[in-house]
Structure 1
C-alpha cells in the first residue's frame, strides 16, 4: 500500500475532497466563503501580502474542516453510540475549525480596515 505513484495518491486526496463536498454542509459553506474571499480580492486588488494571507487562511480553514469531517466520520464508524468522551473529541475538532475561521475573519477585517 505504501509508495504508490503520485497520481494515485493525488486521486485519493481528490476523492476525499469530493466525499467531503458531497456529505458535509460545513465544507460547502467554507468553500462558498472562500469563493467570496477570492471575488473580494479580485475586486479590491490589494497588495500581494493580502493575497498570501487570505490564501493561507482559506487553505487552513478548508484543511481543518476536512480533518474535522474525517475525525467525525471515523468516530461515528468505530463507535456509533453516544459517549461523553467521544462528544468531547468531536467538539474539540469543531473548536479547531471555529478557531481558524475566526482567525480568517480577523484577516478579512484587517484587510477591510487597510483598504478603507
Structure 2
C-alpha cells in the first residue's frame, strides 16, 4: 500500500507534466495563443457586464472546451507527424477531422457568447 508521501509525489509529477504540456502549447501554437487572447477579452467583458453565476459557468466551460480541443488537435497532429512524416491522404483526413472538432467548439463558443453578451451590448445602446 503506497504511503501518502508517494501518492503526493505522483500527483506532483502528474501536475508538472500537465503544466509542461500547457507551456509547450502556449509556446508553440499560434491558434492556442489566439484562443487565450479571445478568452481574456471574454473574461474582461464578463467582468464589465457582471455576468450571473450561470453565465460565468457557461462561459468558463465553453472556454475550457475550446482550449481543450485545441490541445487535443495539437497532440493528434504531433503524433501523426511523428508516425507518418510523409504526406499521406489518411493522415491528412485525420488532421482535418481533428481541426474540424476545434472549429465546431469555436463556433459553438461564438454562439454561446452571442446569446450571453448580445442582449447586454444591445441594452447599452437603448
Q: TM over 0.5: same fold?
A: yes
Find out whether 1:112 has 2:120 as its counterpart: no
Mapping of residues 60-75 of structure 1, within 5 Å? 60-75=65-80
How high is the TM-score relative to the length of structure 2? 0.87
Mapping of residues 26-37 of structure 1, within 5 Å? 26-37=31-42
Residue 22 (structure 1) shift: 1.0
Residue of structure 1 equivalent to 2:85: 80
Residue 113 (structure 1) shift: 2.9
Residue of structure 1 equivalent to 2:24: 19
Residue of structure 2 equivalent to 1:54: 59
Aligned-residue RMSD, C-alpha: 1.2
In the alignment, which of 79, 93, 100 is matched to residue 95 of structure 1?
Answer: 100
How high is the TM-score relative to the length of structure 1? 0.94
Q: Distance in 1 between matches of 2:117 and 2:26?
A: 29
Runs of 5+ in structure 2 lacking a partner?
Answer: 1-6
Q: Which of structure 1's runs of 4+ aligned residues deviate more than 6 A?
A: none
